[in-house]
Structure 1
Amino acid sequence: MNTPKVSIIVPCFNQAHFLKNSLQSVYDQTYQNWECIIVNDGSPDDTEIIARLWCDKDSRFKYLYKENGGPSSARNAGIQISEGDFILPLDADDCISSVFLEKLVPELLDDESLGVVSCYTKFFSENIKETSFNLKPRGTNWIYLLYVNQLIATSLYRKKCWKEVGGYDESMKKGFEDWEFWIAVTKRGWNYKIIEEFLFFYRKAKRSRQIETITNHFETSREYIHKKHKELYIQDFDNCMSVLFFELNEHRTSKMEIKNSLEYKIGKMITKPFKIISKLFFYPKVKP
């Protein structure tokens, strides 16, 4: 079987304490023709020390330092110096199954219409053997990606796809840059495929960049994606409006449930005197 080189790109910022496990999962791959580029994105921790230990252990590991620029910038920097025909991004706190490449590489080799291959995901917190949630994405093309990101960031894709779209959007520093990247790739005619096996392990940290994005930047990041690829949403206009008004209704219903809850009413009663006092003493008086 043809065995093209796979370039695994591992950006790292303040995750040196997880890096060993991630790189071990790369080292354990049954598919042997890979290189792993560890990109130190200006991290102030022990990333460089750990990375160089792995470089000394196996020459397939490579180390790159750059000033902090965010995940998109780090991935682009690693891919820029990569030698592989296929690219696999891997965050420094996540892990892949030992047969990940063995299972996914042949899919790209057998079907030239495929630009991306992904798989099922298990979520874990501390112990990779104790998973808390299973993710089973679906779909084959851009239409499945418009409203939900069906592709995890750690999906295998052709380097030519990265070149076609000009890399990851480095202006997206608040998250969802991988979602935008997959839309940019698939709207050019590339399909994707989901391998129905749990081959990727995502660390669900209590405080993570993804949680930060969903909590504080979900609407703005999504608006950016919609505007950047507006021709797709216009093409899917009726469904786009259905999704929009469904979400507006869900938001309104959620607000009403909160306002009608006993906790809300009690809280409103408790804070009412303070609001009255605030108006009396802190609001400037208007001169007649």
Structure 2
Amino acid sequence: MNNSIKISVVVPCYNQAIFLDDCIKSLIHQTYTNWECILVNDGSTDNTEEIALNWQKKDNRIKYVKKINGGLSSARNTGIQNVTGDFVQFLDCDDYLYHEKFEKSVKEISNQTNTVVITNFQLFDSATQTVLPPHCILKKEYFSQKEILLKWDNTFSIPIHCAIFSKDIVEKYKFNEELKAKEDWFFWLQAYENAPETHFIEEYLLAYRMNSASMTHNLFFMLENRIKAIDKLEQVILDKDLLREFFKQDLLATMNENLQLMERIQLLGYKRTMKYKINKVLKILGMKKK
């Protein structure tokens, strides 16, 4: 194993101080020790700063950066600007790594440019304090721009914390700060634009925390940002045939959802005029006053 490879861990923090100790401890306990951690306080109003500064005093591998609130992507990009390592690990402060993640990831590395090492993950339920199986099982055949574009959310999604990325990838692409959700999907699409050398470790080496207060539970918010991300796909997907395939697939999925909605409306048993039915639909969709 090459102990000269340095891993930079970017941890964006926003009002989740309650989880920060567990997150940092998962780094302190790594069996591979050549790492640095950049804690980015994104304008937190809780005691994030106090906890971060205490850890900085205890371990000189930990750096602390404070900024005004700009969102998750902005905080990650600030972290990227401060990394000095060869590979970058993104880690939200409510998640944590298993102790051998870095050691096992570094063993896979043969090139230090255009390289990604991905591991499997588990879910952690905060409410019950239990570890659960992941929402999808990752497979190596998923790691291409085509698969990430066409099968994201339908077949799989990859938590950003599963990977370590060579520094050149994150410095080239960064995170789109206009997106307040779906930024991970967009980043993965960018990262696989040039088909990076990918190493996959099937073992579970991190925990992704399930939190009922998470933004991922706001469906309208997620849909709104998915539309924004789709609007930017031409910047990332250079294969126009692939882009057309995606839009065709997305259109068919939308039509199917609309048909299911109409079937539910028909089950309500409306037998009156077409105008009456249309008005009922508009009311159900919240587009017409009752």
What's the TM-score, normalizing by structure 2? Answer: 0.82
Q: Aligned residue for 1:208?
A: 214
Residues 49-94 of structure 1: CA deviation (Å, up to 9, x unaligned): 1111211221111111011111111111112111101000000101
Q: CA–CA distance in 2 between the matches of 1:92 and 1:134? A: 20
Contact 1:40 1:47 in 2 (8 A): yes
CA distance 1:117–1:248, shift in 2 (3 Å): same
C-alpha offsets along residues 204-225 of structure 1, whole Å, 9 cap, x if unaligned?
1112122336644254233234
- Rounded to whole Å, the distance in 1 between the matches of 2:82 and 2:112 is 24
Moved more, 148-157 or 2-11: 148-157
Give the greater-gyration-radius structure (CA).
1
Question: Superposition pairs for residues 36-55 of structure 1, below 5 Å?
Answer: 36-55=37-56
Deviates further, 237-246 or 95-104 = 237-246
Report the counterpart of residue 125 of structure 1 in structure 2: 125
Residue 160 (structure 2) aligns with? 153
Question: Secondary structure in 2 aligned to 1:201?
Answer: strand
Q: How many angstroms does 1:123 deviate by?
A: 1.4
Judge conservation of contact 2:114–2:168 (CA < 8 Å) in 1.
no
1:122–1:135 contact (8 Å) kept in structure 2: no
Aligned equivalent of 2:143: 140
Flag the 1:29–1:17 CA change in 2: closer, same or farther, 3 A: same
Report if aligned partners of 1:8, 1:88 keep a CA contact under 8 Å in 2. Answer: yes
Deviation at 1:36, TM superposition (A): 0.8
Deviation readout 1:160-214 (Å, 9 max, x if unpaired): 112223x222222x21222212211211232433321111211111121223366
Partners of 2:226 and 2:84 in 1: CA distance: 37
Output aligned runs, 1:134-283, within 5 Å. Answer: 134-138=135-139, 139-149=142-152, 150-154=157-161, 155-165=163-173, 167-172=174-179, 174-212=180-218, 215-232=222-239, 234-237=240-243, 239-261=245-267
Deviations 1:238-265 (A, max 9, x none): 6325412431232123203421445x97
* Structure 2 CA distance for partners of 1:132 and 1:163, relative to 1, 3 Å: closer
CA offset at residue 137 of structure 1? 2.2
Relative to structure 1, the CA distance from residue 29 to residue 257 in structure 2 (aligned partners, 3 Å threshold; closer, same or farther) is farther
Contact 1:140 1:193 in 2 (8 A): no
Deviation at 1:148, TM superposition (A): 3.7
Percent sequence identity over aligned pairs:
32
How many aligned residue pairs are there? 267
Given the superposition, is the C-alpha separation of residues 87 and 261 from structure 1 closer, same or farther in structure 2, using an over 3 Å criterion? same
Inter-partner Cα distance in structure 2 for 1:136 and 1:242: 26
- 4+ residue segments displaced more than 4 Å: 111-114, 213-216
Contact preservation (8 Å) 2:117, 2:164: yes
Call closer, same or farther: CA 1:142–1:128 in 2, change over 3 Å. Answer: farther
Alignment correspondent of 2:273: none
Q: Which runs of 5+ in 2 are unaligned?
A: 271-275, 284-288
Q: Is the 8 A contact 2:112 2:166 kept in 1?
A: no
Distance 2:204 2:59 in 1: 27
- Structure 1 residue runs of 5 or longer lacking an equivalent are 276-281, 284-288
Question: Cα RMSD over matched residues?
Answer: 2.8
Counterpart code for 1:81 = N
1:110 aligns with 2:113: no
Q: Match of 1:75?
A: 76
Mapped to 2, the partners of 1:221 and 1:24 lie a distance apart of 36
TM-score, normalised by the number of residues in structure 1: 0.82
Q: Following the alignment from structure 1 to structure 2, what is the Cα–Cα distance between the partners of residues 96 and 257? A: 45
